[in-house]
Structure 1
C-alpha cells in the first residue's frame, strides 16, 4: 500500500470504530432505558362513554414491547375480561420509557383522571426505568447505590398509589411487580435482592392503599427462555403468564 494511503486508511478505520461503538452504546441504552414516549398532552374532558373499563397505566411493559405482535399482557387480559363480560372495553395508556415522575404527570391530566374515575380495573407497570437508571446501575454496579435508588423512589411509588386510589376509591388496582432481567450478569444475585426489596416495599404500600401486587419476579428466571430477543422485555410466553397472573388477582378481588 502506498505511503500516502496509510493515513487515510487509519482515519477511516478509526471513524468506523467510533461509529460501531456508538451504535452498540445506543442499542444498549435503548434496551436498558428505552426512549420515553410522549406523555399524553393535556386535554379537555370528553363525553362519558357508558360501560365498565379496564385501564392500563405504565411503561414499555404495559405497551407490550418485546411481544411478537407488539401486544403484551394488557391485550391478553383485556380481551379475556371482555369475553367474560367483566368489562366492556379496555384502554392502554402505557408510555414506553416512562418513569414514576412521568406517570405522576400523566395522572394530573383531565382525560386520564376521567378514565381512571370510570375504571373498574386498573393495572400499573412502573419503576423499572427508575431502578435501572439508564443502564448506569450495571455499568458501575454497587448494591448500596441500587438500594439507595429504591429508598428514593419508593416514596414516589406511594404518591402514585395514593393518587390513583383517591381518584377511584372502588376499582381493583393491580401493580405488576418487577423482575430481574439481569440474572445472568455477574451481579445477578445481588440485583435479585435489590428487586425483591423493591417488590416487598410495593406490597407494603399495596396493603395501605388496597393495591394488589402481582409477582412477576418468579416468571423470569432464565433470560434466554423468558425474555424477548433484547433480553430485557418479556417474550410472548412470559406476557401470557403475566396476563394469567393478573386475571387470577382480578377474579379474586372483583365485585360484580
Structure 2
C-alpha cells in the first residue's frame, strides 16, 4: 500500500512539473519569438449578435501567457459571467502593441463583436514601453519619452474608438506593472509606469472606462511573476480576475 501511494505521489509530481515547464516554455517563446500577429477575426469564431458577450482585447496578458494553466484572468472572469449566460470572446494577440490594437479595431468583424459586447476588458501598452526588455536594457540610447508619448496617444485613441463602438458596455482597462524592477534601469521605469497609469486613468474617466492599476501587485519578482519573469504569476492573475469581477459585478 505504501508503495502504491508513493507511486501515485511520484506520478502526480512529474505531471505538475511538466505543466510548470510547459508554462515556462510558452512564456519564453512569447518573449523571444512572438507569434505572428493575426489581427482579424474569422466568421467561425465571432459570436452570434444575439445575447450577451464578454470581449477581451489586447496582448499576451489577456491571452493568459505565464499562467501555468493558460487561464490568465480572462478564463475565471468568463466562467463567473457564464452564470448569467454571458459568452466569452478573447480577441487578444500575444505581442500586440497599441498600434496593432488600433489596426485590429479597423477589422469589420472585430468592430461588430465589440458592438455586441456587454463587458469589455483590455490590456495594452507593455510591449510599447518595454519592447521585450530592450528599452530597459538600452534606456540611455532609446528616446523613451517619445515612445511613451506615442503610445499614450494610441491608448487614448483606443479608448475613444472602443467606447464609440459601444456606448453601454462596461469597459475595464488593466494598466501596467514593472517586471524589470531588478534591472539597473528598473527604478527609472517605475516613474514612467506610474505616469502611464495616471494618464490611463484620465483617459478612462473621459470615456467611462474603469482602470485597474496593478503596479503594486509586483513587488517580488519570484512570487508575483511567472517563471519567464515578465508575465503575471498565477497568484497575480487571480488578483487581476478578482479586481475585474469586482468592477463588472
Q: Does 1:97 align with 2:95?
A: yes
Offset at 1:143?
9.7
CA contact (8 A) 2:30 2:94 kept: no
CA contact (8 A) 1:58 1:125 kept: yes
**4+ residue segments displaced more than 4 Å:** 27-30, 41-47
Q: Does 1:129 align with 2:127?
A: yes
Q: Does 1:31 align with 2:52?
A: no
Q: Quick check: which has more Rg, 1 or 2?
A: 1
Distance of 2:138 and 2:126 partners within structure 1: 17
Long gaps (5+) in structure 2: 1-26
CA contact (8 A) 2:60 2:94 kept: yes
CA contact (8 A) 2:49 2:113 kept: no
Taking structure 2 as the reference length, the TM-score comes to 0.82
Count of aligned pairs: 223
CA contact (8 A) 2:97 2:128 kept: yes
Offset at 1:106?
1.0
**What is the aligned partner in structure 2 of residue 146 from structure 1?**
144
CA contact (8 A) 2:46 2:113 kept: no
Offset at 1:41?
5.4
Offset at 1:134?
4.0
Q: Secondary structure at the match of 2:163?
A: helix
Question: Which residues of 2 match residues 147-162 of structure 1 at below 5 A?
Answer: 147-162=145-160
CA RMSD in angstroms comes to: 2.4
Q: 1:194 to 1:28 in 2, by over 3 A?
A: farther
Q: 1:74 to 1:30 in 2, by over 3 A?
A: closer
Q: Does 1:74 align with 2:86?
A: no
Taking structure 1 as the reference length, the TM-score comes to 0.80
**What is the aligned partner in structure 2 of residue 56 from structure 1?**
56
Q: 1:54 to 1:70 in 2, by over 3 A?
A: same
**What is the aligned partner in structure 1 of residue 13 from structure 2?**
none
Q: 1:218 to 1:46 in 2, by over 3 A?
A: closer
Distance of 1:104 and 1:230 partners within structure 2: 27
Offset at 1:44?
10
Of the three residues 110, 120, 137, the one matched with 2:118 is: 120
CA contact (8 A) 1:29 1:134 kept: no
Distance of 1:223 and 1:143 partners within structure 2: 26
Q: Secondary structure at the match of 2:111?
A: helix
Q: 1:139 to 1:189 in 2, by over 3 A?
A: closer
**What is the aligned partner in structure 2 of residue 235 from structure 1?**
233
